[in-house]
Structure formats: structure tokens, C-alpha cells
Amino acid sequence: MEFKILTLNCWGLAVVSRNRSQRMQAIAEMLATSHYDVVCLQEIWLNSDYELIKHKVSGVLPYSHYFYSGVTGSGVCILSRYPMEEVFFHQWPVNGYIHKIHHGDWFGGKGVGLCRLKVNNYCVNVYSAHLHAEYDRKCDEYQAHRVLQSFDTAQFIQMTSGGADLVVLAGDLNTEPGDLAYRLMLSVPGLVDAFNEAGETALDIVATNESLTNSYTPPSLVKKNIPGKRIDYIMYHPGSNLQIDLKSYSLPLPDRVPGCDYSYSDHEAVAATLVISKNDVLAAKEDLQMKKTVLEESIQICDEALKSLGHNKYLYWFFTFVLFVLLVTTLATNSPFGLNFVYHILKVVITVFMFYTLIMATIWNKIEKHAVIAGKLAMSTALRKLKTKDS
């Protein structure tokens, strides 16, 4: 039996995303004429866009589910040709920062969504996720968050896929091949990257973001001929009695929406066709050494994050003290040069910033610290299990 999957980050931010309404219409029309069994979409931030796509594709993908979370919604939804028997959303404990409004990841309440499908006589678990964005690869302040999200997702897949005949993870993972988060995602639950399985046939279709042929790629990157990044994936894993073969891997959409001068999104869609068959051969021995290596590296990242949180805590306390002294000074003195209004505004600004640094030094620091510790403890438990198995 063949099973066809497509994943696409739709770049559906209100106001910010260019040509959003036209592109959503084009995406809906494209999917309505497609023959996919499952479609995983990310960055569907507006309910109206989800309803548009859901209505347009109902003829070929009659079953759909949006994973509501956070302030704006997770942006993740799954459309299916087959009935959804169960759905579940697992929100990650670390999701960026509330005060980084220009990044906005925290407001989405990001996590991993699961839809369990009944595909003929097979039970198929489809997972879709959108990890925290990188923003700056040279100075990545979110590396620990993304590593923890990756491990959390890997664990979630491992713990919920016991009775599944096929496991599929599709989405924008915001991590490049070779990165620690990528290696965690593959090694812990034993997933296979469809791109790697495609081998030489996929060498010309690497970039899924900032592709040189995408209309939304910054001209500076195109001018310098800087190749894009592969951060959108389809990964899979068969059940114990099945064999999964990759029939095809592709970036199926054209460079431009037909008749328009813009692309479907700033990301490329990724599609894969899997062939499911019975398997009488024993499963290959899992690579315990690779699992141990990625877990040890991940624990080290957590330790570094905890040290950074300790430094940040004292830094925020220092700023709180300085702002408190400034506030007391302004309250104890008269406004200079008769600028009463400006002086009152200054007091308000100092008070607001003082409460901000106080919250960051106490409540927020504690929340993030506990989330990192929880992830580190789970990694340590998994590592101990592997070492016991290897001994």
C-alpha cells in the first residue's frame, strides 16, 4: 500500500506575511486537486485561513484537525483522507520568551500534535511539529530550548507509538541536518529522514527555506548565491511487523503560484510516498552508541543553559536594585527645571522596567530553570537505561 504525505510551512502571519490571503487561496486550491493521504501544515495562524483550507480540500481530505494552543494557536494542523481516531497535542515546557514579542514563538504555545489514523487495516500515527526558530545561527540564544523541544518530541513519539504500524513526523523542525536537535529527533525514537533515504535522487532538491528560486528569499542571499537551508522534514518509522520503503521524495510545488510572481510560501513544500508491506525480517539492532552520544551532548547543553540562567538571574537582580535606587531618588527629589510631567513619566518608566527585571529574576527564571531541569532529568534517565542495556 502507498501512503503519500506532504508538509508545508505556510507563513501565515497576519499583516507581516506578504500576499498571505492570495497564497492561502492558492495553497487551498492546490491541495484540493492533490492526491495526498495526509497533509501537515504549519504557521496557519488565522482561524479564517484554516477554515478556508479546510472547506476547499474537504472533497479530497475530508478529515482535519487544528491544534489550538497558547495565545495565537500553535499554527499546526493536519488534513487527512482517512478518519482520525484520536488526536492529542503536547505543548513544550520551554517555548522562547514572552518579552521577545518580535520573535513571537512563545505566543504560539508551540508543541507537537498527534493524529492517529485508521488507514485500511493499519494504524498510522502522524505527528506534526514546528520547533522554535533559530533567528541567529552564530549566536543562538534558543539552542537549549530547541534541543529540549526536540528531545521532548522524540520522547512523546516513543511513548505514544507503541501500537502503531507506521509513525510519521512531518513539519518545520527549524534545525539543519547534523545539528544536535536533528540527531535527537532521529536517534531517540529511531526515525528515518526521507531525504537521506532518497539518496542521490534528492541531491538537487535540498533547500526548503531561503531557496534561491523562492520569491521571498532576501535578494542579498540570492545575489551572493547562498544556498538555502533544509529545515522541513518528513521522517518515519515502521512497526515491528512492517517494512516501509521510500518510493519518492520531492519538493512538489512550482517556484511560483501559477500566473503570479510570488511563491506559495517562504518555505518549500516537502512530499514523500511510502510503500507499506509486511516484513518477516527481524528489525535491525538499534544504534545505542549514537543515542548515548546525542543524549550526553544534550545534557551538556542543559548544563550550559542552567549556568546561563544563574548568571541572568543575578544580572536581573542587579538591574532591579539599580532601578529601585533610581526610583527612590526620583521620589525623594523635585523635578529639575520645572519639568514635572516629564519627571512623572520617568518615574513610571523606571517602575515598569523595575517590575520587568524583578519578574525575570524571580518568576520567569524559576519557570525556565524548572523546565530545563525536567528535560535534563528525563535525558539522564534515558541515558542510564541505554548504559544498562549496553552493559
- In angstroms and rounded to an integer, the radius of gyration of the C-alpha atoms of the chain is 24
Q: Looking up cell 492529542, which residue turns up?
A: 88
Q: What is the pLDDT of residues 141-195, one digit of tens each?
A: 888 899 999 999 999 999 999 889 999 999 999 999 999 999 999 998 989 999 9
Q: 31, 56 in Cβ contact below 8 A?
A: yes
Q: Which three cell numbers, joined as nine digits, stand for 223?
A: 545575489
- Residues 74, 385: Cα–Cα separation, whole Å: 33
Q: How many residues does the chain have?
A: 391
d(Cα 309, Cα 83) in Å, to the nearest integer? 45
Q: Which three cell numbers stand for residue 82?
A: 482517512
Binned at pLDDT 50, 70 and 90, residue 243 comes out as: confident
Q: Which position has the higher pLDDT, 100 or 352? A: 352
- The count of other CB atoms within 10 Å of the CB of residue 289 is 11
Tell me how far apart the alpha carbons of residues 194 and 205 are, in angstroms, rounded to a whole number: 12
What integer pLDDT is reported at residue 376 of this predicted model? 86
Mean pLDDT of all residues in 379-388: 82
Instruction: Report the pLDDT value the prediction gives residue 75, as an integer from 0 to 100.
Output: 94
**CATH class given for the domain over 2-278:** alpha beta
In the chain, where the domains are located: 2-278, 288-390
Rounded to the nearest angstrom, the gap between the alpha carbon of residue 75 and the centroid of all alpha carbons in its chain is 10
Q: Looking at the annotation, which residues are catalytic? A: 267
Question: Which of 177, 262, 169 lies closest to 214, judged by CA?
Answer: 262
